[in-house]
Amino acid sequence: MRFPLLLTLQASWLTVCQATQHYPTTWGHYDLCKSEGYTDEGPTWYYMACQPEAADMTKYLKVFLDPPNITCGDPPETYCTLENPYMCNNECDSATEELAHPPELMFDHEGRNPTTFWQSTSWKKYPKPLAVNITLSWNKTIELTDDIVITFESGRPEQMVLEKSLDYGRSWQPYQFYATDCLDAFTMEPKSVRDITQHTLLDIICTEEYSRGYVWKNDKTVRFEIKDRFALFAGPKLHNMASLYGQLDTTKNLRDFFTITDLRIRLLRPATGATMVDEYNLSRYFYAISGIKVHGRCKCNLHANSCIYDKERLTCECEHNTTGPDCGRCKKNYQARAWSAGSYLPIPKGTANICLPNSVGPVTTDVCLYHLNDITNLDVKRWAGQGARNPVIITDDLHLRYLKAV
Ligand SMILES: *[C@@H]1O[C@H](CO)[C@@H](O)[C@H](O)[C@H]1NC(C)=O
Ligand SMILES: *[C@@H]1O[C@H](CO)[C@@H](O)[C@H](O)[C@H]1NC(C)=O
Ligand SMILES: *[C@@H]1O[C@H](CO)[C@@H](O)[C@H](O)[C@H]1NC(C)=O
Ligand SMILES: *[C@@H]1O[C@H](CO)[C@@H](O)[C@H](O)[C@H]1NC(C)=O
Ligand SMILES: *[C@@H]1O[C@H](CO)[C@@H](O)[C@H](O)[C@H]1NC(C)=O
Ligand SMILES: [Ca+2]
């Protein structure tokens, strides 16, 4: 017989899978996909759920502007400040490096003085809206891990929408609406992230928090609050990440909410600082952005702990015999059972759900991968008498043991 039966236990496979789902105080990092171990029969591999480290994702994006010729400087223009129409010393000329404001300056290393920023043309066509789309594309699924922060050099826009795509830009969904007056702009009640609860986490809100008060020169940021949303599950200081990961594991909608392939900032109306637009000096109205922060990690379905950027493309370095940009398939000859994503549970190492070699033969999906050592460590008595089905532990050519419901 090809796969010797090692032992039979009086229990159902389901119980085995749940037996180790306790939540230790130390939280695993999921930074290892496998580790070597030893059994009586010699060396063996333990497989674990793994994910790449979170990183600054702005290094890997492509930016597209719509309309494409909306960047200032061709022809050169002089801008006045919103606060003082007589202060007109902001010059934009795309042909002069020091006076040009191309989109790349939204993603360069800041901390320089003066700041570097992208700037749009002014609102010359008023009252026609000054609408600009800034689309950020990764051509890769990304899981957000921190707030999206957009820092304006101009006043913050009076109306804007942050949108996301999960299908490489084919369809778009709003993430958040921003306006000085939500009812007027989008016929939505103004809300803040503090109004969101666990049950309304997927709700899309309009907030007035980041649009008002152009006079506050020190607050130029517009945020999409990822951490506040995480905190609804993980606690205020994100102490209980286990609870969050447990939720993400079991609720696909929640997981998808934080997953993107593209982001779009739709600027709909610039800061005007007053109710009336000064039609005689439209050089006061424009958009300028000095920085955009997007922190996240490659989505690799818990089958990779690194993601490489090569030939302008992000790709997961898949383990567990998975393949594809997101490790979303089983490799050829490793399709003995249907592909499935790794799981954060049981904490802290999760379940790898590796792809099994075809040589194992057809395997049902009710297979719970456990190393023999782990199984003997479990409280066997607890399962006794529960067995609607008897799990067997079998081993394949790779010295891998797993339970199979029979
Ligand atoms: C940008 O291009 C469009 C169409 O090609 C044109 O109508 C518009 O005037 C241009 N805008 C600027 C600021 O040059
Ligand atoms: C805006 O006003 C300032 C100050 O009066 C002036 O220098 C500037 O040329 C004006 N710009 C326009 C487009 O009228
Ligand atoms: C911006 O994107 C929206 C959809 O997300 C689209 O309707 C609009 O035409 C695009 N262009 C501009 C300039 O707003
Ligand atoms: C996006 O990535 C896929 C592979 O994942 C590649 O085939 C395609 O050319 C990429 N598209 C762009 C626009 O870079
Ligand atoms: C995947 O397959 C390779 C051989 O192609 C093998 O060396 C490796 O151990 C396998 N990994 C897992 C996780 O089964
Ligand atoms: Ca900058």
Q: For the chain, what is the HEC assignment?
A: CCCCEEEECCCCHHHHHHCCCCCCCCCCCCCCCEEEEEECCEEEEEECCECCCCEEHHHHCEEEEECCCCECCCCCEEECCCCCCCCCCEEECCCCHHHCCCHHHHCCCCCCCCCCCEEECCCCCCCCCCCEEEEEEEEEEEEECCCEEEEECCCCCCEEEEEEECCCCCCCEEEEEEECCHHHHHCCCECCHHHCCHHHCCCCCEECCCCCCCCCCCCCEEEECHHHHHHHHHCCCCCCHHHHHHHHHHCHHHHHHCEEEEEEEEEEECCCCCCCCCCCCHHHCCCEEEEEECEEEECCCCECCCEEEECCEEEECCCCCEECCCCCEECCCCCCCCCCCCECCCCCCCECCCCCCHHHCCCCCCEEECCHHHHHHCCHHHHCCCCCCCEEEEECCCCCEEEEEC
Residue nearest to atom 2 of ligand 1 (CA): 69
By C-alpha distance, which of 395, 393, 400 is closest to 11?
A: 393
The pLDDT tens digits for 328-382 are 999 999 998 899 999 998 888 889 999 988 876 555 444 444 444 444 433 332 3
How many residues comprise the chain? 406
Residue 22 has a pLDDT of 36
Distance 69 CA to ligand 1 centre (A): 6
Amino acid letter for position 17: C
Q: Is 85 in the pocket of ligand 2 (CB under 6 A)?
A: yes
CA distance linking residue 185 with residue 188, whole number of Å: 8
Residue 42 has a pLDDT of 73
Q: Is 61 in the pocket of ligand 4 (CB under 6 A)?
A: no
Residue nearest to atom 9 of ligand 1 (CA): 69
CA distance linking residue 319 with residue 306, whole number of Å: 10
Ligand 4 pocket mutation, candidates 139, 165, 262, criterion most atoms within 8 A of CB: 139
Residue nearest to atom 11 of ligand 2 (CA): 281
Residue nearest to atom 6 of ligand 3 (CA): 133
Residue 17 has a pLDDT of 36
- According to DSSP, the residues that pair with 92 across neighbouring strands are 77
Token digits of residue 142: 């990304």
Residue nearest to atom 14 of ligand 2 (CA): 281
- In this structure, the number of other CB atoms found within 10 A of the CB of residue 348 comes to 18
Residue nearest to atom 2 of ligand 4 (CA): 139
Ligand 1 pocket mutation, candidates 65, 69, 133, criterion most atoms within 8 A of CB: 69
Q: Which residues surround ligand 6, an ion (CB under 5 A)?
A: 105, 108, 110, 116, 290
Residue 161 has a pLDDT of 98
Residue nearest to atom 13 of ligand 4 (CA): 139
Whole-structure pTM value: 0.84
Distance 67 CA to ligand 2 centre (A): 26
Residue 295 has a pLDDT of 97
Give residue 169's region: left, alpha or beta (phi > 0; psi -120 to 50). Answer: left
By C-alpha distance, which of 157, 269, 162, 274 is closest to 210?
A: 157
Distance 284 CA to ligand 3 centre (A): 24
Residue 400 has a pLDDT of 43
Query: Can you tell me which atom of ligand 2 is nearest the CA of 283?
Result: 13
Residue 358 has a pLDDT of 83
Q: Which ligand is nearest to the CA of 109?
A: 6
Question: Could you list the mean pLDDT of each consecutive 10-residue stretch along the chain, which spans 406 residues?
Answer: 32 34 50 85 84 96 97 96 90 96 95 88 96 98 97 94 98 97 97 96 96 67 96 90 90 96 98 86 96 97 96 96 97 92 88 85 47 40 32 39 41
Longest dimension (CA), the chain: 90
Ligand 4 pocket mutation, candidates 261, 298, 309, 313, criterion most atoms within 8 A of CB: 313
